[in-house]
Amino acid sequence: MRIILALIKKEFYQVFRDRNMLRLIFLLPMIQLIVLGYAINVDVKNIHTAVYDFDNSTLSREYVKSLSAGDYFDIEYSEIPLLDINSGFKSGQYDAALIIPSGFSSDITLRKPITAGFVVDAANANSAAIAMAYAGQITAQFNNRQTKAGVPIELRQKRLYNPEAESVYFMVPGIVAVLVTMITVMLTSMAIVRERETGTLEQLMVTPIKTPAFIFGKTIPFAILGYVEMSMALAFGILWFNIPFAGSWVLLYGLAFVFLFTTLGVGMFISTITATQQQAMFFAWFFSVFAIMTSGFFTPISNMPDFVQYITYLNPLRYFMAIVRGIMMKGAGVAELYREIFAMITFSAIIFTLSWMRFSKRIE
C-alpha cells in the first residue's frame, strides 16, 4: 500500500511540474467545451426566407406572420424577382423562398385545395430537412386554424427532453465522455512509456515493487484526473451553458468508474506496443478519434451503414456516451440503461484484463 501511495504521489508531482501536461489537462478541455459547445450547433434558426406574396391578402399576410412568429424563419419580402431567386440562394442572401400564389385566400375560404411553394437551398441537406419540417409544421397549424371543422387531423409535435432542441444540451454530455476518454488514455500510456524512455522502469524493476502495485500506482492518478476532468466539464456545462442534469449523480460517477477501466486498460495496452511518448501520444490519439467517431458523438449510430453499426457495438465509448446522455438529459436509471451498463462492464472487464496480462508479460 505504501508503495502504491509513493507512486501516486510521484505521479502527481510529475503532472503538476509539467506545464504542457497541465495545459493539456486543464486548459484544453475548457477550450474544447466552449468551441465544440458553440460550433457544433445543429439547430436550425434564422432561416433567411424570401417571401413572394402574389395574393397579398389579410390571410396570406397572416400566414407569413405565423411563419415568422418563432425564431426559425427570418422573413423578408424579396426585392429579387422570383425568376432570379437562384442568385439569392447562390449569394447566400436567402436559404429558402416562400411563394404564395394569387387566389390563396379565396381558395382557402372556399375550402378548395391550395398550394403554396416552399423552396429550400439544400446544399446542407440536414438544415434543409429541418427547415422543411418547421415549415410543414407551421403550415399544418395554420391550416387547422383556418379550416377548423374541415380538417380533423391536428398535427401536434412535441420535443421530449430537449424542448428547445438545443444541440448544446446534447453535445456537452458527449464532450464529457470524450474528454474522459482522451485524457485518461493519453496520460496513462504516456506516463508508463516515459518510465521506459527515461530508464526509470529498469530501476523500478529492481525494487520490491510488484506488478499489480505498479499498475495501480500508474493508473489511479489518471483515474483521479479523469474524475476531475469530468467534474470540470460537467460544472462548466451546467454553469456556463445552463445544461439541465436530470438523473443521478451517483449513477453517473459510478458508471464512469467502470468506464475508466476501459480507458486505463487501453492506455496500458498502448504503453506495451510503443517505445516513446511520441508514439504513445499518436496511438492514443488514433484510438480516441476512432472511438469518438463510432460512439454516436457527432453522427447518430442509426445513420451509419450497417457494417459500421456492427463495429460500434465493440466500442465501449458508445455505451458510455449513451449512458452519460441518458442520465443527464433523460434522467435514465439502471432500468433503462441496463443493456449499455452490461455491455460496458463486459468490455471494460475484458479490455482491462487483457491489458493487464499483456502488461505483466512485457514487464517481467
Partner 1 sequence: MSSISVEHIVKSYGDIVAVDDVSFSNESGKILALVGPDGAGKTSLLRLMCGLLDFERGEVSFGSINLRYDFEEIKKLLGYMPQNFSLYPDLTVEENLKFYAGLFEISKKEFSRKKEFLYEFSNLGPFRKRRASNLSGGMKQKLALSCALIHDPKILILDEPTTGVDPLSRRQFWDILKKLRDEGASILVSTPYMDEVVMSDRAVFIHHGKKLTEGTPEELTAMYSGFVYTLQVKPTVDTMEALNSIEGIVARRFGASIHIYSDNLSKTEDISETLADRNIEFSSLAQIEPELEDVFIQMMGN
Tell the smallest beta-carbon distance from residue 226 to partner 1 (Å): 22
* Closest distance of CB 260 from partner 1, Å: 24
Binding partner 1 (rule: CB under 8 A), the pick from 7, 135, 230, 266 is 7
What minimum distance in Å lies between the beta carbon of 130 and partner 1?
51
Beta carbon of residue 266, minimum distance to partner 1 (angstroms, whole number): 25
What beta strand segments (E) does the chain contain?
Answer: 47-53, 73-77, 96-100, 117-120
Which of these segments, 2-10, 82-90, 231-239, 263-271, binds partner 1 (CB under 8 A)?
2-10
Dihedral of CA atoms 66, 67, 70, 74 in degrees, nearest 10, equals -140
Q: Contact between 276 and partner 1 (CB under 8 A)?
A: no
- Spatial separation of the C-alpha atoms in residues 229 and 3, rounded to whole Å: 26
Q: Does 303 bind partner 1 (CB under 8 A)?
A: no
* Residue of 38, 23, 26, 27 whose CA lies nearest to 240: 38
In contact, 174 and 168? CB cutoff 8 Å? no
94 CB neighbour count, 10 Å cutoff: 24
Q: Enumerate residues 305-324 that contact partner 1 by CB under 8 A.
A: none
Choose between 85 and 186: whose C-beta lies nearer to partner 1.
186
Site for partner 1, residues 321 to 350, rule: CB under 8 A: none
Length of the chain: 364
Residues numbered 189 to 228 that lie near partner 1 (CB under 8 A) are 198-200, 202-209
Q: Is residue 352 within 8 Å of residue 267, measured between CB atoms?
A: no
Stretch that binds partner 1, among 10-18, 69-77, 132-140, 313-321 (CB under 8 A): 10-18
Q: How far is the CB of 121 from partner 1 (least distance, A)?
A: 56
Residue with cell 474524475: 227
Q: Please give the residues from 14 up to 43 whose contact with partner 1 meets the rule CB under 8 A.
A: 14, 17-18
154-193 footprint of partner 1 as x/- string (CB under 8 A): ----------------------------------------
The interface region with partner 1, picked from 12-20, 41-49, 107-115, 152-160 by CB under 8 A, is: 12-20
Residue 68 CA, distance from chain mean position = 30
Contact 295, 317 (CB under 8 A): yes
Told to check if 84 binds partner 1 by CB under 8 A, we report no
- Does 363 bind partner 1 (CB under 8 A)? Our answer is no
- Residue 287 CB, shortest distance to partner 1, in Å, is 26
- Nearest alpha-carbon partner for 320 in 257, 259, 232, 251: 259
| Cα–Cα distance, 10 to 184 (Å, whole number) | 17
Contact pick of 5, 155, 275, 308 for partner 1 (by CB under 8 A): 5
Complex with partner 1: residue 19 or 159, whichever CB lies closer: 19
Closest alpha carbon to 264 in 345, 186, 357, 362: 186
Phi-psi region of 262 (alpha: psi -120 to 50; beta: other; left: phi over 0): alpha
Distances (CA, A) of 236 to 62, 195, 239, 298: 43, 34, 5, 20
Of residues 17 and 148, the one with the C-beta less far from partner 1: 17
Min dist CB 217 to partner 1, Å, is: 9
Site membership for partner 1, residue 362 (CB under 8 A): no
Query: Within 10 Å of residue 138's Cβ, how many Cβ atoms?
Result: 18
- How many residues form the binding site for partner 1 (CB under 8 A)? 22
Nearer to partner 1 among residue 211 and residue 279 (C-beta): 211
Q: Are 272 and 188 in contact (CB under 8 A)?
A: no
Per CB under 8 A, 300 contacts partner 1: no
The contact set with partner 1 (CB under 8 A) reads 2-3, 5-7, 9-10, 13-14, 17-18, 198-200, 202-209
